[in-house]
Each structure stands twice: as structure tokens, then as C-alpha cells.
Structure 1
Amino acid sequence: MKFKAFLIDVILIFSSFLSFAQFKISGSVIGDKEVNLKLDVPVIYDLDPLNAKEIAVESNGNFSVNIPLTDRRFIALHLDNDQILLFVQPHEDLFLVINSNNRTIVDFKGSLADENYLLQAIGFNKTPFFMEQQGGKYNYASTTAEEIQSMVVKPWFKEREEKLLRITQSSISQANKELFKNEVRFHALASLTDFTRSIVRWRKSEWRNFQLALYDTVSPNLEEQYHGLQYYKFIDRYIGYMQSKALDQYLKDTTISRLLFFNLSLDSIMRLAKVNGENYVAWLSVKQNVSRATAESYLAQQILNSYRYKDLKSMKILMVDFEAYFSDSRYLPHLRTCIAKLDEKLMANKRNASIKFFNEGNHIKSIYEIIKRYRGKVVYLGIWGTWCGPCKVELSYTSQLKDKFNNKDIVFIYLDMDDDDKEDEWRNFVWISNLQGLHIRMNNEHIQRIWAELLPTEDGLRGLYPSYFIFDKNGILIKEKAKRPSDQQLLYTQLEKHL
């Protein structure tokens, strides 16, 4: 039945697209046959582990599934909690020998065996050396802007050249060689961007100068047949470069009436960002600076991402442009279906009495004004924001959490930090997500007193979203920095201690 359900799900996802060919993945599992195998086949280009479909493994360890494909692409095989990137192509096949004990693929067979051996050797899933950690700390976090060329960029680009040479010397087709080479190049750039954006602590001017130097000679335009997963990750980072470059030019000459890459005034961009959101402004820069095929895939993926994060407002805003510019797109039927699903959830859950809102959250002086109402119950408090991607990922695990503690003496409180003009968006997200529990919204100014109350001696942890706290049945805070919903059993154990 699981195998049948998998086929139905995959066919439904692709039924709105143009005619597709089949790709067969089969294999055998050695070791523990109870392994949980899932396949993540992107609808457009982005992987989404939450939508990965289970593959039935027979008692002898064998499995087999056909995937509908329109073009070459990268997909992910999930082996329990481990992800393995695979390359697939219409009319081809791949046989995997999986060792479930060490969570590895020990052999590839079939017409795409060479491509997938090479893909594993390239190691897109491997953490770059400059992003490795020891003891919870990044080894290269103290790298300065003056040191980055010698300590990070040169050795990293040396690794890139070694991978490119390996691809050149391989036996795969020339077309696949070009695709893999471009993926290596774009992965190298995106990794450096992520490192300087999220790990090192530089001045904004240092970060901007590095990005400008990194991307000034790089073009986002590439023949469509060479668009892969890493290419679109690069496009996401290239948007940041375009914004930095446009701002850099404007700061040098404030008489510029239309910003580079946007062809709009700065005031117009700021107004559009406030009304339509930053995703819409990002789309405007993409629309004018990449090929039509790239723009179509990019915008479709952003709409699908908004669906994933249950952002109905953003979906509808972006969809207006999508229908105007890509009226014949193969993605349209699927995207329209996604919007209809969120609309349906919104209307249904507005009547759900288990979803409660506390009005005038900014007037709360102490979190204990709320906690004391639930004396006799354990309280699990989550602090989050509708603007926070990781927060929304954690919220996607709440259904399993609540199923685990159904009919137990536990209360779920969600404290959202959003501006006052986001009230409707916040409520709509809660309804669409069917987040049963008590919901409170405070703006950034007023929530600071709650952070100070919850973490009086740990200034560095205040304002980290999402954060979770556990109060015992007497209303006493007994666990700050509690486990997240995605930690599952670790969190369940924390909560069960106090029930």
C-alpha cells in the first residue's frame, strides 16, 4: 500500500506538467531491512524534505520505483535522517546498493552509475572546510576580511579546480560534464557567500566589498540545459549581490534616479518592499537580469516556497506577476491548486475553537500574567515570527508533538514577534497552519521586556528566533533553551519529566 501511495502522490504532483518520461530507481538494502527510505523529487528545483515520499522496502531489502521526469535534475534520497544527492535523467535507470548500518550507498549500477559515483566524489553535501565546527564553534569564525583570501578563498578555489579536473577526466557525457562543472562553480560561490553572511562578523562595508569582488565578473545567464540545483542556489545569492551593487552605486551618487538592476527609484523599491514584501523586490531584480526560463523557474519556486511556509499573501502577490508574464507555464495548474488549498484551510480553521488569540499582546507586562492562568498544567512556550524561516520549519513539526501529548496536561503558547501592521498576516498564518493553542503577538519594542524576564542573565540569547521554554505545573520556568519540536524524542523526554 505504501508503494501504491507513493506512486499516486508523485503522479499527482506532475500531472499538471507537460508529458513526461520515466526514470527507474531500484536497489537493495543490506543490513537492517527496517530502514526508512524516502525520495525527494523537486516539483521545480528546490528540495523539500518535508514532502519526501516514502519508498516501500520489501522484506528481502529490495525496492523499486518509477519517477516521472521532464528533464535532468538532482533529487535526494533520504535514508532515515541522512540525505544523499542523486542525479537522474529521463529514459535512464539507476540501481543502488545501500548499507543501512553506516548510512551509505556502497554501489551504483545502471546507465547513470558513473554520474552518481562522480556526484558522491564531488561531495555537494559535504560541509566546506571553512564551515566546519568543533565544540559547537565554527573553526574559521574569526577570519578577518584581510585574511579571507589566503585562509579561505585560495584553498577553496583549489578544491574547486580539482573537482573540475576530475569531471573533465570522467567518462560521462559532455552535456553532463558541463552541467556538473557549472554546479561545482556555483556551489563554490554560494558557499563563500553563506560563510561571510552568517558565520564571520564583519562590518557591513567589508561584507559588501567582498560580495562585489566575488560576483562582479560572474554572469547569471546560462543555457537552460545547464541549470541545476546549485545554479539556483547561486541565483538566490546573486540577488544579494545585485542589491549591494545597486546600493553601492547609489551611495556614491544619490542623484541616480533609477537603481542598477531594478530600473526603479529607491523610494519606489522601498514602497514595494513594504506593501508587497522583500520577496517581490527580489523578483523584480531577477526578472530584469536573467533569462526568461530562469525567471520562470525562480518565480514559480518562490510561490511554492510561500506555499510551504503558508504565506498566502505573498503567494497571491507573486502569482499576479507569474500569470502575467508566464501565462502558458506548465507550472500554473499546480501553483493555482496550492493557492486554493491554503484558501480552503484558512476558511475552515477560522471556525476552529481550539485556536485562541490573545488581543492587545503589547499591553502584557509579564509573561507570568499568561502562565498563571494555566496552573496545574505544563506550559510549552515558543517565541517565533512570521518572517522567520527556521521558525516556520519548527512549526511544521507541531502536529507530531501534539499527537504525542494529546489529552495530557500540557498547554502550547505561541508568542509571535511581528510589527503591528502584520496582525492580519499573523492570524491568517495561524489559521492556515491549524496551530491549536494560545497565540499572542507583540512588536519588537514590547517583546524586549519578555526576553529580559525569561533570560535575565543571558543577553546574548535574547532575540534568538525561534526559542522555547518549559514551565512546570506551578508556573515556574524550569527550562529555558528547551528542545525544539524538530528534536522530537529529546523534547518529548523533557516534557514528560514534568507531567
Structure 2
Amino acid sequence: MKLTQFILILLFSSFAIGQGKKNEIKITGKITGKIPDIIEYTLPIHGIDYFGFTDSAQIDSSGNFQITIPLEKPSFIDLSNSYKSYGTLIIEPGMTYKVSINTEASENKFVVESPNQKGQILYNQIPNRSMIVGGHFELETKKYTQDSVPSEIKQKIEQSKEAEMAGFKKLLKEKVISKDFYNLVETDRDYFNKGIQGGLAFINYLLVAQNKNKLSKEQFSEMWKEIFQSNPVTNPKLLSSPWFYFYIENYLRYNELILEKVDTKIIAEFQKKGQIHTHNIDNAKKYLSGLQLEYYFAAYVYYEAINNNYEKELITLFEQFKKEYPSSPYKHFLEPVIMPIIAFHKKQAGPLNEKINFIANSSNLNSVNDVLKSLNGKQYYVDIWATWCSPCKAEFKDNAKLYELLKSKNITMVYISIDKESREKQWKEMIHFYNLEGYHIRVNEKLDANLRSLYGNQSMGIPWHFLTDENGNIVKKNVSGPSEIENLEKQLSNN
């Protein structure tokens, strides 16, 4: 009897250990080229792959790292650093993966050794495989914006998807990838392509006001409706797609704009009052529930917070989320992006740096020459930016070095914001928060037009940094920003 019990215990222990291994995956990797301190990876909570819900692993001096993740079902994992994707893994419970990443190679930057290696290579060749790689559904609609026949549009989208899946079908037939691997990719690409159709419908909706829509209201409304019938948001498989967030966003737009027929002027009023995020979450609560709502709520707050617009409303929504989902695993990811918003509003109560100067009579200054001649400087380093421009704000972290360099060269710092009048408050608050020493002006209509003329393109790219003489004449049209301070120093020395 004791021997039998002992055997049963051994069998049970062996089974438990086996199950533990089956319910996790191991990734070992090596990075060559420029080696970062850490590698970030998306955590598939409930099988969800979202670029903001990440953990990280340390990388040793030789570029080696190791990741172990508990896993219950096949999922996507994106490996990245500071929102720059190295590549995407399609992982299955119980498997191990060896990853090689070359940060400086032009090709073959991401190589995966595993039994499904060919499938990994094929998936990573997809240019729109995730949010931080492919952007947004609306970016993918360019191929179809001039089409006016819904049946032809849908056929083209379906043909594009089939062409994309052909390689995976071949690998499945040859048993190079598993059925689970194939099903995960198929669901993801199906929802992505349906999202393109929804994005096209939304664009046509927006173009109605300008009378530039190619599809009639009836046509784009029907196209929009169809995707949520064939690919409902309630499908649990959708949660595994990296495109879940944007697909839900498109679904909520459809319900609000088409079914409820909410006037865009009403939505604009919420924006003006600083209540747009609360309005959007309230709208989500009308149409989502359970895990879909919890995930969307958390993903929404995260996505809006990292834009660094510092809306106080997001603090309130975060507190609301914690109250409604006290045990949510997503709280862990939201806290770090909410803390800067809290710090932003705390700083507004303090005094303004005396080295921050707002240019007087700005409404009468209609050109760069007008602006700079009024300051009586010798040379000017001009930063064109906007409060909504994340790359612009990313440059500010290196401003201390910039100010030191400009002082040594006797060059005056000038910031010109292309923000609209409606963002006057945000403009001044961000100047205060980022402690932007120098002269400041927000463009009027004529100054904005003058800048675009000087840039040489109406779609002016920002941040844009240039150097002028004392009269405001540009002597170097493009110079480096503070994040490339060594290169900027060379540029200024050669002037």
C-alpha cells in the first residue's frame, strides 16, 4: 500500500512538473550591434498582445538575455525597446525559442530558431503586423480611397488577405507550422483586413463634410455594418490580435456616428471642455462588457497617456478604472504613464522660470523675419514644435546640453509653436512643465503659412530646427535637435 502511494505521488509530481513546463515558454536570445540595457516584451495576459502591456529582461554585456513566460494558449509576443519593434514571435505553450537580433543590420535583423522557424520568418515579413510597426487601419486604406464600388473594394481586400495567407497555408500543409499557429495568424489577418474596410468607411464618413467622399452614405454605412456581423467584437479570438484596440475603436465609432447619429459638433464640444476621454469611455461602456471592456478601458488610458498631452482627465479615469477593476492586472502598466501627468499638473502651481519669455504683440508678427528682428539678437536657433507632437517633446529631455551649447556660441533660443488658438492653455502649460528657456511665440495664420513656405512643403514635418542670422534670414535650413548635441555642435562650428 505504501509503495502504491509512493508511486502515485511520483506520478502526480511528474505530471505537475510536466504541466508546468507545458504552460510556459522560454526565449533565449542574443543582441548584436548596439546593445540596449533591457529588452521589452509584451505580456500575453489572457492571450492579449498589446504594445503597452510589457515586461522587460536584462541584457548582459555580451548581448544575451532570457525570458520565461507562463502561457496557456498560442499568443503573439513583440520584442522591442522604447516602442521600436525588433520582431514578433508567435509562441505556443511548452516550446522554446532562440532569437538573434542585429540592431544595425539592414536585413535579417530578427532571426528565430524553433520548429516553426519558417512561419516566424514569414510573419515578420508582414509590414503591418502590430500597432508599433504598422500604425493604424486608416494608413492601410490608401490603396482603396479612390475606389467607389463596395463589392470591388471588398474583393481587393479579400484577395490581399488570401495572398498574405497563401504562404502560411503551404507551411500548414507541409506540417511546418501547427494548426494553432496557423489559426492565430488567420484570425489576426482576418480582423486586420476587416479593420481596413472599417477604416475606409470612417474616412468616407469624414469626407462627406467636404463633399469628397467616393462612397455614398448608404454604401459606407453598409460596408461598416458588415464587418461587425462577420467579425464581431465579442469573438474571444479577437483578444489575441495585436489589432484588438483599433478594431474596437472603429466599432465604437460606427455605433456612435452611424447607429446613434451623434453630430461631430457635439463630440467637438466634449473635446473643447476637456471631457472627450470620459465621453469615449462612457460610450465604450454602452457596447462592451467583461474582459473586452476591462482591456479596452486600460488600453485606452495607456494609449492616450503616452501621447504626453497631460490631460488631467486621464488621472480621473485611472482612479475610476482602479475602483471598477481593483484586481486588474493592467493597473501595473497604467501607473507609470499616469505619474508624469500628476507631476505635470503639480508643477503648474510653481513659479515660471524667469528665463522663459513670451514674445509681445505676437498677433502682428506674420513671418519669421518679423519675429526675430523684434528680439535684437545676433543669431537664433529656432525650434518649430507643437504640444501634440511626441517627437518634439522627446527632444526636450536633452535641453540642458542644448542651452549650454547655445550660450557658448552666443546664440539665442526661440521656440515657435504651430498649435492652434484652442490649445493656448496647453501650450503655456507645457512650456512651464518642460522648462523651455528662451523666447516663445504661437503662430497666427500668416506666420504658419510663412513657415510652410520656408519649409518648402505644406505638410511641414516637426520638430524642425534651423539657424538664422540676426535679421531672421535662415542660414542653415536643417540642423540637429538637442538629442544629437554632438552633431549640432559640429554644425554650429562650421557656420
Report the TM-score when normalising by structure 2.
0.70
Given that residues 395 and 483 in structure 2 are in contact (C-alpha distance below 8 angstroms), is that contact kept between their aligned partners in structure 1? no
Q: What is the correspondence of 1:185-334 to structure 2 with a 5 Å cutoff?
A: 185-191=190-196, 203=211, 205-206=213-214, 209=217, 211-217=220-226, 218=228, 219-223=232-236, 226-246=239-259, 250=261, 271-310=269-308, 311-332=310-331, 334=333
Structure 2, unpaired ranges of 5+: 1-22
Higher deviation after alignment, 309-318 or 139-148: 139-148
Q: In the comparison of the two structures, how many residue pairs are matched?
A: 445
| Separation (CA, whole Å) in 1 of partners of 2:203 and 2:460 | 14
Q: By how many angstroms is 1:141 displaced?
A: 8.2
Aligned residue number for residue 474 of structure 1:
470
| Separation (CA, whole Å) in 2 of partners of 1:162 and 1:403 | 53
2:163 paired with 1:159:
yes
Q: What is the correspondence of 1:35-74 to structure 2 with a 5 Å cutoff?
A: 39-42=39-42, 45-47=49-51, 56=59, 58-59=61-62, 63-66=64-67, 72-74=75-77
Q: Judging changes above 3 Å, is the alpha-carbon distance between structure 1 residues 77 and 328 closer, same or farther for their aligned structure 2 residues?
A: closer
Given that residues 201 and 223 in structure 2 are in contact (C-alpha distance below 8 angstroms), is that contact kept between their aligned partners in structure 1? no
Q: By how many angstroms is 1:95 displaced?
A: 0.5
Report the 3-state secondary structure (helix = DSSP H, G, I; strand = E; otherwise coil) of the residue aligned with 1:178.
Answer: helix
Q: By how many angstroms is 1:298 displaced?
A: 1.7
Report the TM-score when normalising by structure 1.
0.69
The letter for the 2-side match of 1:232 is Y
Structure 1, unpaired ranges of 5+: 1-20, 251-258, 260-264
| Separation (CA, whole Å) in 1 of partners of 2:477 and 2:157 | 35
The letter for the 2-side match of 1:143 is Q
| Separation (CA, whole Å) in 2 of partners of 1:86 and 1:492 | 38
| Separation (CA, whole Å) in 1 of partners of 2:71 and 2:344 | 31
Higher deviation after alignment, 358-367 or 227-236: 358-367
Q: By how many angstroms is 1:52 displaced?
A: 9.5
Aligned residue number for residue 380 of structure 1:
382
Q: Judging changes above 3 Å, is the alpha-carbon distance between structure 1 residues 461 and 77 closer, same or farther for their aligned structure 2 residues?
A: same
Aligned residue number for residue 391 of structure 2:
393
Q: By how many angstroms is 1:318 displaced?
A: 2.6
The letter for the 1-side match of 2:448 is W
Aligned residue number for residue 448 of structure 2:
451
Report the 3-state secondary structure (helix = DSSP H, G, I; strand = E; otherwise coil) of the residue aligned with 1:104.
Answer: coil
Given that residues 415 and 439 in structure 1 are in contact (C-alpha distance below 8 angstroms), is that contact kept between their aligned partners in structure 2? yes
Per-residue CA distance 1:140-160 (angstroms, 9 max, x = gap)? 588343496289435424325
| Separation (CA, whole Å) in 2 of partners of 1:142 and 1:493 | 45
Given that residues 380 and 472 in structure 2 are in contact (C-alpha distance below 8 angstroms), is that contact kept between their aligned partners in structure 1? no
Q: By how many angstroms is 1:382 displaced?
A: 0.7
Structure showing greater Rg: 2
Q: Judging changes above 3 Å, is the alpha-carbon distance between structure 1 residues 328 and 224 closer, same or farther for their aligned structure 2 residues?
A: farther
Aligned residue number for residue 87 of structure 1:
90
| Separation (CA, whole Å) in 1 of partners of 2:435 and 2:419 | 19
Per-residue CA distance 1:54-84 (angstroms, 9 max, x = gap)? 863644xx51232556774431346997732
| Separation (CA, whole Å) in 1 of partners of 2:438 and 2:429 | 15
Q: Judging changes above 3 Å, is the alpha-carbon distance between structure 1 residues 456 and 27 closer, same or farther for their aligned structure 2 residues?
A: closer
After superposition, the CA RMSD in angstroms is: 4.8
Q: By how many angstroms is 1:403 displaced?
A: 3.3
Aligned residue number for residue 27 of structure 2:
25
Q: By how many angstroms is 1:165 displaced?
A: 3.4
2:181 paired with 1:184:
no
Per-residue CA distance 1:195-224 (angstroms, 9 max, x = gap)? 787899894543674653443122222216
| Separation (CA, whole Å) in 2 of partners of 1:206 and 1:145 | 5
Aligned residue number for residue 335 of structure 1:
334
Q: Judging changes above 3 Å, is the alpha-carbon distance between structure 1 residues 338 and 124 closer, same or farther for their aligned structure 2 residues?
A: closer
| Separation (CA, whole Å) in 2 of partners of 1:104 and 1:354 | 51
Per-residue CA distance 1:152-182 (angstroms, 9 max, x = gap)? 4354243255367357545555554433222
| Separation (CA, whole Å) in 1 of partners of 2:355 and 2:311 | 19
Aligned residue number for residue 371 of structure 1:
372
